[in-house]
Structure 1
Amino acid sequence: MEPVVFTQLVIAAATLLASLGGYLLAGVNERRRDARTLAREMELRGAERASRRDDAAHAFQRETLLALQDAVQLMARLTYKAMHFDHMQARGHKYTQLPDALSDDIHSNGVEVRRLATRVLDPGVRAAVDAFDETSARLSTSPRHLDGLTGDELENRAAVSMVELNDGYQALTSILGEALRREIAWKPDIE
């Protein structure tokens, strides 16, 4: 074989091998780029799902705290009504059970407050709700502690009970308000 033909064959073979090698390297690089792009897209989708879950969880907490605020306010009002009923009964020196409608309302409200409180993540809020629920239950049941009190004693006991109920309510609404403000102010972590 002549040297010129051989040189041309070597050049052609080298060109063919270089083209084939370039093609293979380009394929490898493209696969790596596609894998990196896919990994970034999967990470972004995961972050978006996590962000939506966080948004939903905070929205749920906000709605729960708002409903709990309303239910606690109703609990305070119903407790006041029961205390007033008991006070009026004590003034007349006769004791009867609460009217059925009031008793049913107190029970339903208590169940609602407990249901909502169990949904709250903050243990401090749950503890404050428990404390107010106990105070409310104590003040709205068993008017026998008023038995035998007359005149000023009865009025003083009613005033002390009202102050206790109001103080408990104010303390709880303060704690609920702080928790609610935290939920309202929450912003997702933006990277």
Structure 2
Amino acid sequence: MDWIAPFSTLLAALGGYALAGWNDARRDERASKREEAAEARARDARRRDFQLQTLLELQNEARRLAQAALDVHIFHLAAGDDADPVEARVWGEHRARASGFELLLGRVVDDGLRQQGRKFIDACTDLADTRRKRADTDEETARIDRVVTAAAAIETATMEAIGAAIRRELAQGATPA
């Protein structure tokens, strides 16, 4: 019976070795899951920060687009039907602002905000393209006032939508750069 003690020791050692290996595998698995979760949180934080930065830039570009559209509109009202080289410059500024706004809009995750942004671009273009016809009548003035009022309402709705999106990103933990 001299063989039972060494055999028991061997079995205990093998069992301990297997148990240690199983514990190491479980520990490695838990560490891997923690690393994956940390990477996912970091990726999500970067996405939120990028989205917030985009929204802040979009808000500023919306203001510049509205001003460029208003500048073209005022130019048209002042110039009437007279063509002028200045018109190309003011229209160029409007187109550049619309293009910049649209570029930023393409980065926005919120479908509703992108749709509102497209309405805003259309409203700004309508405003910029509104000219006074030769006859200066009450009907013509009312038509221009409707375009201006519609553009202002869409601008307000767009700025509110952008502001709400910014607040949502901040509430989710995004940090402004």
Q: Alignment partner for residue 82 of structure 2, among 92, 95, 110?
A: 95
How many percent of aligned residue pairs carry the same amino acid? 21
> For 2:140 and 2:60, how far apart are their aligned partners in 1?
31
1:22 aligns with 2:12: yes
Name the counterpart of 1:117.
105
Shift of 1:160: 3.1
1:168 aligns with 2:158: no
Question: Does the 8 Å CA contact 1:87/1:158 hold for their aligned counterparts?
Answer: no
Shift of 1:163: 1.8
Question: Does the 8 Å CA contact 1:61/1:120 hold for their aligned counterparts?
Answer: yes
Shift of 1:154: 5.1
Question: Does the 8 Å CA contact 1:71/1:112 hold for their aligned counterparts?
Answer: yes
Shift of 1:187: 4.1
5 Å-filtered alignment, 1:114-153, equals 114-141=102-129, 143=131, 146-150=132-136, 152-153=138-139
SS at match of 2:106: helix
Q: Which amino acid aligns with 2:103?
A: R
How many residues are matched? 173
Q: Post-superposition, which runs of at least 4 consecutive aligned residues in structure 1 deviate over 6 A?
A: none
Q: Alignment partner for residue 93 of structure 2, among 67, 88, 105?
A: 105
User: Quick one: structure 1 residues 113 and 166, their matched pair in 2 at CA, closer, same or farther if it must change by over 3 Å?
Assistant: same
> For 1:51 and 1:150, how far apart are their aligned partners in 2?
61
Name the counterpart of 2:42.
52
Shift of 1:161: 3.0
Q: Which amino acid aligns with 1:119?
A: R
Q: Which runs of 5+ in 1 are unaligned?
A: 1-9
Shift of 1:149: 3.0
- TM-score normalised according to structure 1 size: 0.83
Q: Which amino acid aligns with 2:6?
A: L
Q: Which runs of 5+ in 2 are unaligned?
A: none
Question: Does the 8 Å CA contact 2:58/2:101 hold for their aligned counterparts?
Answer: yes
> For 1:175 and 1:142, how far apart are their aligned partners in 2?
26
SS at match of 1:99: helix
Question: Does the 8 Å CA contact 2:133/2:140 hold for their aligned counterparts?
Answer: no
> For 2:89 and 2:72, how far apart are their aligned partners in 1?
11
